[in-house]
C-alpha cells in the first residue's frame, strides 16, 4: 500500500546532529499577524506544511497575497482593516485547529457571512469553545450540532470589549480572544490558565497595546483595540513538538547521541524535557539565547539511561500537551507504574489521543488502565516486541503516525502503519530526517 509504511527492524545506535522543521504554532501566528500588518513581512524557515499552507490559502481568500522565493516567504499585509470580505466566502482550515480557531478571532468584523470548514478530523472538534467568547464581542455564529464545523460567522462593525475567563488552558482559545480584542473598542480582560504564550510574545515584540501579568496558576491579560501593526521579519526556530519524536527515539536507544539545533524552548513548551528528565533521561539545553522574546537552544540527548516511572504532576500538562503520546512510550520502558492525570484535553486533539495512546501501548502488550482523563502505564525496562502490529483508522492524526514509527524503531516487532501522508500537516520532513539517523 503506497500510503503506509512497514517497519521490521529496530534502529541501530546513532550519533548525529540534526535540524527539524520550523515551529507550527509560531508559523501560523506569523502568517496571521503578517496578514494584518502594514506592509511586507518576511519569514525564513517557515514550516511548509499543510496546516501552514492552509493559513496562506485562507488569507489569500481574504485578499492578502504571499510569495515564496529562495526559501523565504513574504506576506503582503494591508493593515488591520485590510481584509477583503467578498460575498459567499468559504474558508477551509483543513486539519488545523490552531488556524481555524485563531482566524475566527480576526474575522469578527466580517461584512458578509463566511463559512468555515475543515477536514473530517477538524469537523469533529469543538469550536464552541471559541465561538462562545467571540460572540460576546458582537459577532454571530451558526455551528453544526451547536459546536462543530462547518460553521458560519457574520461579523459586526460595532465590536465591544469583553471579560473572558479561559479555564481549559487552551492557547487557541486565549489567542482567538486576543485577536478579537485587537478589533474591539475598549479594554478586554482575559484571565487564562497557563498555556503557550507565543501570541502574547508576538504582541509584545510588535509593541501592541497588551499587558500581561503572570500569576502562579494563570495569567491576567489586558488587550486594547489596535490601530496598526508593523511588518514582521521572523526567522522561525525549530519546533520542539517535532524534535520530541527524535528526543524520545534517542532516549530509548542504547548509547545513541543526538543534537537538535535551534529549537524553540519557550518555557510554556518544554514540558516534555521536564518530564523526561524526571524519568531519568539525559537531556541538556546548550547555547541558549533569546529571539524576539522567544527562547532558543540546541537540545543534546544521550540514550540508554535507566528510566524511572513518573506520577506526572498536572502542572506539566499544558507545556507537554502535544507530546503525551510520545512520552507514553518512555513510560512503557520505565521501571514501575507511571500515572498521568487531568488529561481530558488530550481527547480533544486531531484524534482522541488519550485513547490512541492506550491503544498503541496495548498493541505493544503494555498493561494500562485508562479513564476519560487518566492513564496508568505499567512499564517494562526489558520490553522487546516480536509480533505484528497494525495501526490504522486513527483520523490521520500526524502524531499517532509518528509515535507509532518511533515505537517500531525502539521496541521492534513488525509494524504496518497506515496513512503516512498524515505527516504533511505538521512535519513533512519527518521520514527524511529519520533516514539521516540510519545512515
Ligand atoms: C496550539 C495550542 C494547543 C496545541 C496545538 C497548538 C497553538 O491546543 O495542542 O497543537 O498553537 O495555540 P489547545 O489550545 O487546544 O490546547
Query: Looking at ligand 1, which atom is closest to the CA of residue 102?
Result: 12
CB 183 less than 6 A from any atom of ligand 1: no
pLDDT for 201 equals: 98
- For residue 252, report the distance from its CA to the centre of ligand 1, in Å: 27
Q: CA 360 → CA 65, 73, 305, distances in Å?
A: 42, 38, 23
Q: SS3 of 390, please?
A: strand
User: Which three cell numbers mark 289?
Assistant: 539565547
**What's the rounded Cα separation, in Å, for the pair 419 and 360?**
15
Spatial CB neighbours of 371, under 8 Å, sequence gap ≥ 6:
none
Q: Where are the beta strands (DSSP E) in 58-118?
A: 65-69, 72-78, 89-92, 114-117
pLDDT for 30 equals: 98
Place of cell 474558508: 91
- DSSP assignment letter at 107: G
Q: How many Cα atoms sit within 13 Å of 276 on the Cβ side?
A: 35
- For residue 170, report the distance from its CA to the centre of ligand 1, in Å: 6
pLDDT for 304 equals: 86
CB 27 less than 6 A from any atom of ligand 1: no
Q: Report whether 418 contacts 3 (CB < 8 A).
A: yes
Residue in 124, 127, 196 to alter for ligand 1 test, most ligand atoms within 8 A of Cβ = 196
The one-digit pLDDT tens for each residue of the chain (439 residues) are 679 999 999 999 999 999 999 999 999 999 999 999 999 999 999 999 999 999 999 999 999 999 999 999 999 999 999 999 999 999 999 999 999 999 999 999 999 999 999 999 999 999 999 999 999 999 999 999 999 999 999 999 999 999 999 999 999 999 999 999 999 999 999 999 999 999 999 999 999 999 999 999 999 999 999 999 999 999 999 999 999 999 999 999 999 999 999 999 999 999 999 999 999 999 999 999 999 999 999 999 999 889 999 999 999 999 999 999 999 999 999 999 999 999 999 999 999 999 999 999 999 999 999 999 999 999 999 999 999 999 999 999 999 999 999 999 999 999 999 999 999 999 999 999 999 998 8
Q: Report whether 375 contacts 331 (CB < 8 A).
A: no
Q: Please report the DSSP string for 316-348 in residue order.
A: GTGGGTTTHHHHHHHHHHSBSEEEE-S-GGGGG
**What's the rounded Cα separation, in Å, for the pair 167 and 365?**
36
Q: 197, 322, 397, 419: which is the annotated catalytic residue?
A: 322
Query: CA 291 from chain center: how many Å?
Result: 20
Angle at 31 between CA 25 and CA 32, to 5 degrees: 90
Query: Nearest Cα to 333, choosing from 405, 285, 280, 274?
Result: 280
Q: What is the pTM of this model?
A: 0.98
* Domains delineated in the chain: 5-20+238-438 (3.65.10.10), 24-227 (3.65.10.10)
pLDDT for 312 equals: 98
Shortest-distance Cα residue to atom 13 of ligand 1: 170
Shortest-distance Cα residue to atom 16 of ligand 1: 170
Shortest-distance Cα residue to atom 9 of ligand 1: 322
Provide the edge-to-edge strand list for the sheet that holds 15-18: 15-18, 257-264, 294-302, 282-291
Residue 197 appears among annotated catalytic residues = no
pLDDT for 305 equals: 85
pLDDT for 1 equals: 63
- For residue 168, report the distance from its CA to the centre of ligand 1, in Å: 11
Query: Looking at ligand 1, which atom is closest to the CA of residue 169?
Result: 16
Amino acid at each position: 500500500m503506497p500510503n503506509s509504511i512497514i517497519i521490521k527492524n529496530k534502529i541501530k545506535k546513532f550519533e548525529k546532529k540534526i535540524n527539524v522543521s520550523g515551529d507550527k504554532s509560531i508559523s501560523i501566528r506569523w502568517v496571521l499577524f503578517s496578514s494584518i500588518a502594514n506592509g511586507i513581512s518576511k519569514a525564513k524557515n517557515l514550516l511548509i506544511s499543510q496546516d501552514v499552507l492552509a493559513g496562506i490559502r485562507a488569507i489569500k481568500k481574504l485578499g492578502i497575497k504571499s510569495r515564496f522565493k529562495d526559501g523565504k516567504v513574504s506576506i503582503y499585509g494591508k493593515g488591520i482593516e485590510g481584509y477583503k470580505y467578498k460575498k459567499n466566502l468559504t474558508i477551509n482550515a483543513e486539519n488545523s485547529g490552531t488556524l481555524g480557531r485563531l482566524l475566527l478571532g480576526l474575522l469578527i468584523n466580517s461584512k458578509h457571512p463566511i463559512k468555515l470548514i475543515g477536514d473530517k478530523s477538524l469537523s469533529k472538534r469543538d469550536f464552541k469553545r471559541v465561538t462562545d467568547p467571540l460572540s460576546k464581542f458582537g459577532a454571530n455564529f451558526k455551528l453544526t450540532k451547536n459546536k462543530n464545523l462547518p460553521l458560519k460567522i457574520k461579523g459586526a462593525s460595532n465590536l465591544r470589549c469583553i471579560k473572558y475567563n479561559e479555564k481549559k488552558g487552551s492557547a487557541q482559545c486565549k489567542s482567538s480572544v486576543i485577536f478579537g480584542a485587537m478589533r474591539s473598542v475598549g479594554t478586554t480582560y482575559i484571565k487564562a490558565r497557563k498555556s503557550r504564550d507565543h501570541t502574547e510574545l508576538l504582541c509584545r515584540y510588535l509593541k501592541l497595546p497588551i499587558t500581561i501579568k503572570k500569576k502562579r496558576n494563570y495569567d491576567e491579560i489586558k488587550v486594547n483595540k489596535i490601530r496598526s501593526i508593523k511588518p514582521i521579519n521572523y526567522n522561525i526556530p525549530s519546533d520542539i513538538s517535532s524534535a520530541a519524536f527524535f528526543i524520545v527515539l534517542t532516549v530509548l536507544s542504547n548509547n545513541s547521541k543526538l543534537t537538535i539545533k535551534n529549537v524553540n524552548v519557550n518555557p510554556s513548551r518544554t514540558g516534555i524535557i521536564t518530564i523526561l528528565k524526571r524519568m531519568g533521561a539525559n537531556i541538556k539545553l546548550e547555547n541558549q539565547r533569546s529571539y524576539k522574546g522567544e527562547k532558543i537552544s540546541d537540545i543534546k540527548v544521550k540514550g540508554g539511561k535507566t528510566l524511572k516511572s513518573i506520577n506526572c504532576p498536572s502542572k506539566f500538562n499544558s507545556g507537554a500537551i502535544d507530546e503525551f503520546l510520545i512520552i507514553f512510550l518512555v513510560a512503557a520502558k520505565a521501571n514501575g507504574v507511571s500515572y498521568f492525570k487531568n488529561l481530558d484535553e488530550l481527547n480533544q486533539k486531531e484524534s482522541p489521543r488519550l485513547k490512541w495512546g492506550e491503544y498503541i501501548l496495548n498493541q505493544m502488550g503494555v498493561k494500562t488502565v485508562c479513564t476519560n482523563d487518566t492513564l496508568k502505564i505499567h512499564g517494562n525496562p526489558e520490553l522487546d516486541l516480536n509480533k505484528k502490529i497494525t495501526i490504522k483508522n486513527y483520523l490521520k492524526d500526524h502524531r499517532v503516525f509518528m509515535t507509532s514509527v518511533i515505537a517500531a524503531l525502539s521496541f521492534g516487532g513488525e509494524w504496518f502503519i497506515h496513512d503516512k501522508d498524515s505527516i504533511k500537516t505538521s512535519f513533512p520532513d519527518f521520514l527524511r530526517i529519520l533516514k539521516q539517523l540510519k545512515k
